[in-house]
Amino acid sequence: MPVPKTPDPVRSTRTTLSASAYEFLLVRIGDGSMAAGEQIDDVAVAAELGVSRGTVRQALNRLAELGLVDMAPNRFTRVAEPAPDRFAATIEVAVVLWRLGAALTLQHPFPAMRAEFQDLVDAVLADVAAADVVDGNVFIGQVIDVFEFFTAHSGNPVLVETAARLRPVIAHTARLGVAAYDLPGTAALMRELARSVAETDAASVDRALASVNGMATSFLERSAADA
């Protein structure tokens, strides 16, 4: 007598749909498509994604926990203004992840990896050389790409995923204003990282990445002074 096949478990799609809405909004806020202070029409987002308004609200609640969305019941839902304190704390965590990623990545470097890293660095240096960062969203994205290279090549999925989750929070505050960017300092950091990776100098990479904390603090101070 054949053994009855166990039916596949029934899985709810609610979490998946909510996660999709969350990722959609997270990317839009992270890349600057939705600017600080911009109103978020949850009905319009729900229609665009083909999900319920309740699903979008779940996603917005998660974004509010990250400090990326401000919500006032029956009044407004909007992209939050950047929070310097949250930015500083997030950078500290991100730097730890990037340093861990670098330690793992540089254990087994290969020529194509070094070439890829150099291309990422060159993209940042080209903007700095132009002495006119026209699109802050693109520039910040390019800088974070350089740092996330180390987690992306670490072979550790937890590092990859966690670093990716922090990216929108960092980018959201980092675009406070191009006037606060330390372009010469950024260029010097990029060149040092490129040299260290080319020479597989793990200690120098670690020191360079550790310096990002100080650069972030200086950025916030300049941003506050310009406000």
* Domain 14-79 -> CATH class: mainly alpha
User: Distance between CA atoms of 201 and 82, rounded to whole angstroms?
Assistant: 35
| Residue 145 pLDDT greater than 90, yes or no | yes
* pTM for this entry: 0.78
| Residue 110 pLDDT greater than 60, yes or no | yes
> Do 14-79 and 84-226 have matching folds?
no
| Residue 155 pLDDT greater than 90, yes or no | yes
List helix spans (H) across 31-152: 42-49, 53-65, 84-105, 111-129, 136-152
Compute, in degrees rounded to 10, the torsion defined by CA atoms 178, 138, 82, 89.
-100
Closest to 58 (Cα-Cα) out of 46, 50, 67, 48: 46
Query: Domain coordinates of the chain in residue numbers?
Result: 14-79, 84-226
- Homologous superfamily, domain 84-226: GntR ligand-binding domain-like (1.20.120.530)
Give the per-residue pLDDT at 83. Answer: 75
The pLDDT mean for the chain works out to 85
* Token code pair at residue 143: 């800088």
Using a pLDDT cut of 90, give the percent of the chain over it: 48
DSSP label of 71: E
Residue 140 exposure: Cα atoms within 13 Å on the Cβ side: 22
Q: What is the mean pLDDT of residues 54-64?
A: 90
User: Distance between CA atoms of 18 and 34, rounded to whole angstroms?
Assistant: 19
User: Distance between CA atoms of 21 and 143, rounded to whole angstroms?
Assistant: 26
User: Distance between CA atoms of 197 and 70, rounded to whole angstroms?
Assistant: 41
The per-residue pLDDT for range 195-224, each reduced to its tens digit, is 999 999 999 999 999 999 999 999 888 888
